[in-house]
Each structure stands twice: as C-alpha cells, then as structure tokens.
Amino acid sequence: MAHALLDSTLDLLDALIAFDTRSSESNLALIDFIQQYLKRHDVESFLVFDETGRKANLYATIGPKDRAGLCLSGHTDVVPADGQPWTVPPFEMTRASDRVFGRGTADMKGFIAAVLASVPHFV
C-alpha cells in the first residue's frame, strides 16, 4: 500500500527531474516552481541571485521567527549526463519496480522533493 507522503514526494520528484538544471544552465525555472509551491502553502521565501542573474538560492522560513529552528540546505544543479551510459532518459523520472531513476533522484532533487512534500505537515 502506498503512503500519501511517498506519493507526493514522487510526484514532486517527477516535476523536479524534468527541469534541466545542469551546472552550465540556469536553475531559475526550478526555483520559480519551488517558490510557487511554497506560496500555495503560505510560506514566504526570497531569492538571492548570483552575479549573472541566471541562478538563485531560495530561502524560506516555516514557523515562528523568534525561535531557533532547523536549516535544511541543498543544491539544485546536476552534473551533465553527456557521455554517460544512461539506459533511461536522464531528465525524465523512470520507475522500475521499487526504484526510481532520473537525474538527481539519489542526490538533492530527491531530498528537495521529500522536503517539499513535507511542507504541508511543517506548516
């Protein structure tokens, strides 16, 4: 039986993998997706851009601002898939039995999806 949080995480992961955030590319479309997701849950956030304006970090706070909390940190870029022996499309989520394949699944996009799926519970 599937768990609702797992289903939500996988849905978000599917969306995140589709963003081509190779280190040579902009991450702004993915950052905008995350910012809009947070906004739907009434979570305020702000962006800090790099010197080129093509990449940004997103900062968001959930909970009381007058108390210490936790900082969850990650990155959105992935290394290029060129020349690697991918047997599935790297920028599409592929499910095979109980596994999920795609660029970033076992790295930060998986972590970010799990954190975002938890946002409704954090709020």
Whole-Å CA distances, 66 to 51, 63, 93, 123: 31, 9, 40, 16
pLDDT of residue 8: 96
**Which residue carries 């993998």 as its tokens?**
17
Helices (H), the chain: 4-17, 28-40, 108-122
Domain hosting residue 18, numbered range: 4-80+88-122
Domains in the chain: how many in total? 1
Say what angle helices 4-17 and 108-122 make with each other, to 10 degrees. Answer: 130
Mean pLDDT score, 87-114: 93
Closest CA to 16 of 80, 76, 101, 89: 76
With H, G, I as helix, E, B as strand and everything else as coil, classify residue 31. Answer: helix
The region of weakest confidence among 9-13, 15-19, 68-72 is: 68-72
pLDDT of residue 1: 43
pLDDT in tens, 47-98: 999 999 999 999 998 988 898 888 888 899 998 888 889 999 999 999 999 8
Phi then psi for residue 6, to 5 deg, are: -65, -45
CATH number for 58:
3.40.630.10
pLDDT in tens, 26-40: 999 999 999 999 999
103, 92 in Cβ contact below 8 A?
A: no
pLDDT of residue 96: 92
